């Protein structure tokens, strides 16, 4: 395995965006890079500030929802991490993009909650009139709300694309009891987050949660309510049947789709102006959601 010589950690995994390092038997370091993935393919170009935004927003939401939030996150504060990883304070490029987390056995599902019709759910609805093979009202337009938020899981692919599945298919993977527990947790988090965003003039259309098990308890892992895992729209710009401006990476996906790319590697080159616009959108997401300047987050 690769080593990080200046802090002596073993690198154990690299995902599309994050790198994972072993701290001890109970803890890991999760470092969010500036890599950007879309349609499950990583772009060649980095998006400045992206890793800090993802980490800062996750920390914000964990603390916003802390009263009812069993979570893997221990801290993002460099001085706290230093207590577990001597030398971390000197690793300035990791400040603000690193989470010290408890080890968890991950639930092998993407736990998606949808409040409005968008994305792949819209595509399925247009084709078959269902969402994850579940019945929904007829006559819905793009961005319309569902009667109630829907728990709509997908597979968690090691390579390639995640696949949207029904609740029955998800129960076959994790068991009916664990699925019910995951759905209750995620729907509760979604409703509370949606209410907080509504107070800031934003609509939470959908989001993806990652869950794991620590000491027998289901806990929230990985990123929480970030532009990579959520669709967030300005409420005054949402009109039925129209694609709204958003504080997520959907505009980047739209740009990619307009290039005629077949969504398989290699991805097209991303022009500098698109990189800059995407970076600004991530920063705007952090500042609009939190009411804080990104300059005040670790690693500035």
Residues 249, 230: Cα–Cα separation, whole Å: 9
Residues 286, 300: Cα–Cα separation, whole Å: 14
Do 191 and 249 lie in one domain? The reply is yes
Angle at 186 (CA atoms; ends 296, 238), nearest 5 degrees? 70
Do 194 and 219 lie in one domain? The reply is yes
Confidence at residue 246, expressed as pLDDT on a 0 to 100 scale? 84
Residue 294 lies in a domain: no
Name the percent of the chain lying above pLDDT 90: 87
Do 172 and 45 lie in one domain? The reply is no
Q: Per-residue confidence at 1, pLDDT binned at 50, 70, 90?
A: very low
Distance of CA 126 to the CA centre of its chain: 25
Determine the average pLDDT of the residues in 47-60: 97
Q: Per-residue confidence at 69, pLDDT binned at 50, 70, 90?
A: confident
Confidence at residue 4, expressed as pLDDT on a 0 to 100 scale? 52
Do 74 and 111 lie in one domain? The reply is no
Number of domains the chain is built from: 2
Residue 44's domain is classified under what CATH number?
3.30.200.20
Residue 228 has pLDDT above 70, yes or no: yes
Confidence at residue 6, expressed as pLDDT on a 0 to 100 scale? 60
Do 18 and 147 lie in one domain? The reply is no
Range(s) of the domain holding residue 144: 106-253
Do 68 and 145 lie in one domain? The reply is no
Residue 225's domain is classified under what CATH number?
3.30.470.20
Which residues, listed in sequence order, are joined to residue 234 by a DSSP beta bridge? 202
Residue 122 lies in a domain: yes
Residues 124, 224: Cα–Cα separation, whole Å: 25
Residue 121 lies in a domain: yes
Residue 242: count other Cβ atoms within 10 Å of its Cβ. 11
Confidence at residue 249, expressed as pLDDT on a 0 to 100 scale? 81
| pLDDT single digits (tens) 79-138 | 999 999 999 999 999 999 999 999 999 999 999 999 999 999 999 999 999 999 999 999
Do 72 and 113 lie in one domain? The reply is no
Do 135 and 212 lie in one domain? The reply is yes
Determine the average pLDDT of the residues in 182-209: 96
Angle at 120 (CA atoms; ends 206, 272), nearest 5 degrees? 85
Three-state SS across the chain? CCEECCCCEEEEEECCCEEEEECCCCEEEEEECCCCEECCEECCCCCCCHHHHHHHHHHHHHHHCHHHCCECEEECCHHHHHHHCCCHHHCHHHCCCEEEEECCEECCEEEEEEEECCHHHHHHHHHHCEECCEECCCCCCCCCEEEEEEECCEECCCCCCCCECCHHHHHHHHCHHHHHHHHHHHHHHHHHHHHHHHCCCEEEEEEEEEEEEECCEEEEECCCCCCCCEEEEEHHHCCCCCCCCCCCCHHHHHHHHHCCCCCCCCCCCCCHHHHHHHHHHHHHHHHHHHCCCHHHCCCC
Residue 5 has pLDDT above 50, yes or no: no
Do 31 and 122 lie in one domain? The reply is no
Q: Per-residue confidence at 39, pLDDT binned at 50, 70, 90?
A: confident
Do 97 and 113 lie in one domain? The reply is no
Do 46 and 95 lie in one domain? The reply is yes
Residue 284 lies in a domain: no
Confidence at residue 260, expressed as pLDDT on a 0 to 100 scale? 93
Do 138 and 46 lie in one domain? The reply is no
């Amino acid at each position: 395995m690769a080593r990080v010589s200046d802090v002596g950690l073993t690198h154990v995994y690299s995902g599309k965006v994050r790198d994972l390092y072993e701290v001890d038997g109970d803890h890991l370091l999760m470092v969010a890079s500036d890599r950007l993935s879309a349609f499950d393919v990583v772009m060649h170009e980095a998006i400045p500030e992206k890793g800090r935004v993802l980490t800062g927003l996750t920390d914000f939401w964990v603390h916003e929802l802390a009263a009812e939030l069993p979570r893997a996150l221990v801290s993002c504060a460099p001085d706290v991490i230093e207590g577990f990883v001597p030398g971390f304070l000197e690793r300035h490029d990791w400040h603000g993009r690193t989470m010290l987390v408890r080890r968890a056995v991950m639930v092998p599902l993407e736990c998606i909650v949808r409040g409005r019709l968008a994305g792949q759910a819209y595509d399925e609805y247009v084709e078959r009139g269902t969402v994850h093979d579940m019945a929904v009202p007829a006559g819905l337009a793009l961005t319309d709300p569902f009667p109630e938020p829907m728990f709509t899981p997908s597979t968690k692919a090691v390579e390639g694309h995640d696949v949207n599945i029904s609740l029955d298919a998800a129960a076959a993977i994790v068991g009916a009891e664990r699925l019910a527990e995951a759905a209750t947790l995620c729907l509760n988090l979604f409703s509370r987050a949606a209410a907080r965003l509504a107070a800031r003039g934003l609509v939470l259309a959908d989001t993806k949660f990652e869950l794991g098990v620590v000491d027998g308890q289901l806990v929230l892992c990985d990123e929480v309510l970030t532009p990579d895992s959520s669709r967030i729209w300005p409420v005054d710009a949402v009109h039925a049947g129209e694609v709204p401006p958003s504080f997520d990476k959907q505009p980047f996906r739209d740009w990619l789709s307009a290039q005629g790319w077949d969504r398989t590697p290699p991805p097209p080159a991303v022009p500098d102006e698109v990189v800059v616009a995407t970076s600004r959108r991530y920063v705007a997401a952090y500042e609009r959601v939190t009411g804080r300047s990104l300059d005040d987050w670790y690693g500035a």
